[in-house]
A and B are shown apart, each in its own frame.
Chain A
């Protein structure tokens, strides 16, 4: 079939786009660095022996602030897009979103428990704060997804339609629990909770980065191995079975990768919507539904999109900073509506 763009062209284009996003993300911000200095400083950080003359400030800003933030954006964007592909494959529906299996709402609940619970207990030592929040969000996402998966199991088989409904029910339940914690929260806590729910790449640090980088790398290496099986799954579960795919195992892997990936992303950067929905869709429009192209291309596109969204979040109201969730939803929601209307025509 003639797709809009050949896979090769797509990969070259996306790699260039991602490179540009990284470059701009490193250079721009409250203190903008000259693009050329940014490049030289980045190369020095990578170990390329360049003359350090006049680069001290650039290197400091890059190493301490911009590089961890950029890496965070790359990992979050990439893993959210991958999870979107996995869920759209699992539900065999291009409008599926990683949140369907309850991972986002579970993470929100975990975060609410951590933020409000810590305050109610009279505050925890300052060092635990951020880690506790991330850990609770991660475990919350994993826990609710595991429950959704359990509820979808019957007679040793996973019924994705049941899973979908269980996901909706548990999302509502988790939402009400978050509401309860919101009601119990004082003003300062409320603010923390609200901002967390809108997502941000702000305050990225290496220590909080590496668990996410590990998980993202794992998911990004694992899922493409299952690309052909995912293609077959789109034919239908029994058809995939007749083609020799272990469908139950594949479904388990998809749910697990999504729970792990989205859980880690949300734990590190809060709730960031629409990336998982929109990116796979865009790539499919450009290069067709073949997962051998779709999976790696979605990583690049998701990472680029999130870095550009973060740039908007950083620069739109500088020196103040918008939560990135607002930006992605602002881009994502109209695009989603466009897809719906286009499908109807």
Chain B
């Protein structure tokens, strides 16, 4: 699990993120929402160790994030960036297999995991194809399978950070992928996911952190956070919020 205390991050003397205190618990999917430039990716950068905190601290399993060795950290923390640039004709299976790099579990076990991760991201049928021959959305699923393979099977103690994993996906796969992430968390993994689609967040997240201008605006269950006033204040968007007729979670409709 990840713990963040009074995190502050500055860029060129401008504070881009402050006042974030957060526990990312085993078994939960935490959604991060907010308008462009609200500091979502900055938060993810700090949580993954890519950005240094100017104040505050990040802890991974009771140990400061920076104190972990690269391989040990990678065994329990996987990160999916917003865009990946891979310009070489690796096979899909090979790209997913790179997720097993931090582990020494042996080829047989790795192959099992790669196969399972390919299934979870619904790209089993592409496993023999070249990565460069895939569409944008298919590539995004390949990278998702790669980070799933990295912390497979997603037990307690494993953490997954996803930056807009559904941005390029068709409606069906937005759900397939978040369902896979959801069941990953149900195994005990802690998942933090940046999303733009409020309804996807309402359906798949246990808690939601709403960021506005680098500060947390609200943190709580979807029902608590996804209120018309809060969404108006943060996104400037007039919405109706109604319970989903079948599932009961909030349904956000622009007015």
Residues of chain A at the chain B interface (Cβ within 8 Å)? 1-2, 92-94, 228-229, 231-232, 234-236, 238-239, 241-246, 284, 288-290
Q: Tell me if A288 and B101 are in contact (CB < 8 A).
A: no
Residues of chain B at the chain A interface (Cβ within 8 Å)? 48-50, 69-75, 77-79, 81, 84-95, 98-99, 101-102, 128-130, 150
Q: Tell me if B70 and A245 are in contact (CB < 8 A).
A: yes
Q: Tell me if B88 and A289 are in contact (CB < 8 A).
A: yes
Q: What's the nearest-Cβ distance from chain A to residue B46, in Å?
A: 13
Q: Tell me if A1 and B75 are in contact (CB < 8 A).
A: no
Q: A1-B90, A1-B129 are in contact. Are A242 and B74 (CB under 8 A)?
A: yes
A2 to B127, alpha carbons, bound, how many Å? 11
Q: Which residues does chain B contribute within 8 Å of A93, judged by CB atoms?
A: 87
Q: Tell me if A235 and B84 are in contact (CB < 8 A).
A: yes
Q: Tell me if A234 and B48 are in contact (CB < 8 A).
A: no
Q: Tell me if B91 and A243 are in contact (CB < 8 A).
A: no
- Considering the complex, give the chain A residue whose CB is closest to the CB of B129: A1
Q: Tell me if B91 and A288 are in contact (CB < 8 A).
A: yes
Query: Looking at the complex, which one of A229, A241, A243, A245 makes contact with B150 (CB distance below 8 Å)?
Result: A243
Q: Tell me if B86 and A236 are in contact (CB < 8 A).
A: yes
Q: A1-B130, A2-B128, A238-B81 are in contact. Are A243 and B89 (CB under 8 A)?
A: no
Interface core residue of A92, A238, A284 (most chain B CB under 10 Å): A238
A241 to B77, alpha carbons, bound, how many Å? 11
Q: A2-B128, A242-B48, A244-B74 are in contact. Are A289 and B84 (CB under 8 A)?
A: no
- Considering the complex, give the chain B residue whose CB is closest to the CB of A228: B101
Q: Tell me if B70 and A288 are in contact (CB < 8 A).
A: no
Q: Tell me if B102 and A243 are in contact (CB < 8 A).
A: yes
Q: Tell me if B101 and A236 are in contact (CB < 8 A).
A: no
Q: What's the nearest-Cβ distance from chain A to residue B147, in Å?
A: 8
Query: Looking at the complex, which one of A94, A228, A244 makes contact with B88 (CB distance below 8 Å)?
Result: A94
A239 to B93, alpha carbons, bound, how many Å? 17
Query: Looking at the complex, which one of B75, B78, B98 makes contact with A235 (CB distance below 8 Å)?
Result: B98
Q: A1-B130, A243-B150, A244-B102 are in contact. Are A236 and B87 (CB under 8 A)?
A: no
Q: Tell me if A242 and B101 are in contact (CB < 8 A).
A: no
A-B pairs with lowest CB-CB distance, top 8: A1-B91, A244-B74, A244-B71, A289-B88, A244-B102, A244-B70, A242-B79, A243-B101
A2 to B129, alpha carbons, bound, how many Å? 8
Q: Tell me if B89 and A241 are in contact (CB < 8 A).
A: no
Q: A243-B102, A243-B150 are in contact. Are A234 and B88 (CB under 8 A)?
A: yes
Query: Looking at the complex, which one of B81, B87, B94, B98 makes contact with A1 (CB distance below 8 Å)?
Result: B94
Q: Tell me if A245 and B87 are in contact (CB < 8 A).
A: no
Q: Tell me if B84 and A288 are in contact (CB < 8 A).
A: no
Q: Tell me if A239 and B87 are in contact (CB < 8 A).
A: no
A229 to B70, alpha carbons, bound, how many Å? 12
The contact sample of 7 A-B pairs, CB cut-off 8 A, is: A1-B129, A2-B128, A229-B101, A235-B98, A236-B84, A243-B99, A244-B101
A109 to B1, alpha carbons, bound, how many Å? 55
